Structure 1
């Protein structure tokens, strides 16, 4: 029996430059297959799909989906002589091939992550950015090797103080169907768990009935040619339900969910292989108006970071108990990601 115990409660968020550390615990019974080596590998992979059309022998065409997997990070550690055993003073290695003898073993490990890595995105299916800690158990040649996988959530560090205009308010306006909307988002740059304020001023000279205005926080990501969007939050502005006044003012708070990844643009080229991951956010206003084909929407880009002037060490948020539930909620939301043919 073998398992990994991490020094930080799981699930958690590791940031670029962090150290993934813990212990490998292994119990080998007397009747177990000989284990020669144990390899610990921390990996980062980007996966995406492309489609192509081929012509079959009968003249018909067929669309084929190709799956691409690009490894962007790998660090391997071979576990062996350093393992401490409760039963074997010699470290549990015998013969020239160095097998583990029956007993209990403990081995600490630590792997430092590179500073520049794209954030974990949709790790369960294509397209994805996925990080894992893997254990490979090497046995005798005639026995099947074993493997254990532990998912890791990795985000790059994004300091909002280094982003131009991230501390400024965002002003926007639009005019559709005789309705003019002006708005202000209190600040362009936010970190998870932070709250900002949305203020709206509406000019409606023709007394058109505004049934409601929905506010959505949208995550958009592009992995090579694959584009997806994910709706993180949605709510209606309470003061704007069935209104037809000529002049309306309203405001509402927007809270950024804890656990979401930061805005990031990653490009990597290794020989003939290149990969591009772009992740960004916008606040989308969906205006529902009485009448056929009268609804319209507008999108306002914002920046999500991990550090700000008010909260310089977002990494401490990984110790907040509610983060476990928030990360699980993000995992469930990612299952609902949809194609985004109009990524902006």
Structure 2
């Protein structure tokens, strides 16, 4: 068995080799004895063959088509005698924070084909969002699952622009990769709630066969990404009020930002001058996904999908079957670490200009007796994680110590 460190070639600007398709037409004279119909059929067959070659060449240029969906020319089932493994440099690392370096080695083993050749080998970091949309046709409602690649980053592009190909006879081959986990990336989201979109990241190796009639192969190696919230956020006090009939509610947020693994505080001041029956008041933290993309690259028309998921809910104590004139009390919601922070991404690597915005609202609902008497109040809030918060505390502590030293 041979162990070979495959030589690295410089990556192309676009990662795709130039393909030139030429042909020499065959001229048929009238003396050939062929009928006019046969000549036309022959010309049509030649043109269809040329068109097929062009489509195959274009269609096999990458794992993802122009819509960001996986091309059918790639399969994840490896032929017999092949194996592909990935070893991350830090084997004990369970997640990568945006701004960190991810690195490792891809290992390919060929035990069967002594003449194995590839046209291109790519190693890329891929970000994918998976979400469901309910579609109603007549009286039937069906749920359709959409998968959209919103991020691609090349870690390695190993391409041969001629017919010789990348020769990988029987043996073991390794390729090292390393790259930055982009600061803009959304966090990995693996929630099982069918109403909530999923966000996946994986290191993917693509191996493009040199023979056009053979299926290209790929393999994914998943990793978790944790988004690092901005260090400085414009934190302000927020007050909002609404009135319907003679019921008036005033909500105050001491801060419009909540940090995960902490309590989110808000104040309720309810005035009910006519002492009508209030069934109850509730508070919810609502997660809002705005997912937009072009169906055709370069098109000015964006297709936007908005999904809202109730993350936290609480019936506010003391408001059930309330008939009093005035109610005033402070409440809190505990925000767990698993809730992803407010963030957005619009990355140039996306083939369709995909844009994803993840935001939050505090929803206060007042259920009042009578028609059209309810009140729905929505207040935007910012959710941050604690990574930078600890960093900020450390910086602040260091600054104080330095000030004491110099004084």
**TM bin (shorter chain):** 0.5 to 0.7
Query: Does the Cα contact within 8 Å between 1:240 and 1:250 map onto a contact in 2?
Result: no
Matched, 1:198 2:304: no
The residue aligned with 1:297 is 376
Change (3 A) 1:47 1:308: closer
2:101 to 19, 32, 38: 19
**1: distance between equivalents of 2:351 and 2:206?**
29
Query: Which structure shows the bigger proportion of residues in helix conformation?
Result: 2
Aligned-pair distance for 1:217? Answer: 0.8
TM-score, normalised by the number of residues in structure 1? 0.64
Where does structure 2 lack aligned partners over 5 or more consecutive residues?
A: 1-82, 132-145, 293-303, 394-407
Whether 1:132 and 2:202 are equivalent positions in the alignment is yes
- State yes or no: 1:158 paired with 2:229: yes
Residue aligned with 2:390, SS: coil
Per-residue CA deviation, residues 48-101 of structure 1 (Å, 9 max, x unaligned), is 9xxxxxxxxxxxxxxxxxx99676532132589xxxxxxxxxxxxxx9843153
Which residue in 1 is equivalent to 2:404?
Answer: none
Measured in 1, the distance between the counterparts of 2:180 and 2:122 equals 16
Number of the residue aligned with 1:342: none
What residue in structure 1 maps to residue 167 of structure 2? Answer: 98
Tell me whether 246-255 or 258-267 shows the greater mean CA deviation.
258-267
1:294-321 deviation per Cα after TM superposition (whole angstroms, max 9, x unaligned): 222101111122357743389xxxxxxx
Matched, 1:254 2:338: no
Higher mean Cα deviation, 186-195 or 301-310?
301-310
Gapped runs of 5+ residues in structure 1? 49-66, 81-94, 315-344
Deviations along 1:90-117, one digit per CA (max 9) or x if unpaired, are: xxxxx984315345x6665332123334
Q: Residues 163-202 of structure 1 correspond to what in structure 2 (within 5 A)? A: 163-164=233-234, 166=235, 168-202=236-270
Do the aligned partners of 1:219 and 1:230 also contact (CA within 8 Å) in 2? yes
Structure 2 length as normaliser, TM-score?
0.55
Quick check: 2:286–2:310 contact (8 Å CA) kept in 1? yes
User: Which residue of the partner structure matches residue 366 of structure 2?
Assistant: 287
Higher strand share: 1
CA distance in 2 between partners of 1:126 and 1:308 (Å): 24
Report the Cα distance in structure 1 between the residues aligned to 2:103 and 2:128, rounded to whole angstroms: 20
Which of structures 1 and 2 has the bigger CA Rg?
2
Q: CA RMSD in A?
A: 4.3
Task: Give the superposition deviation at 1:229.
Answer: 1.7
* Compared CA separation, residues 312 and 238, structure 1 to 2 (3 A): farther
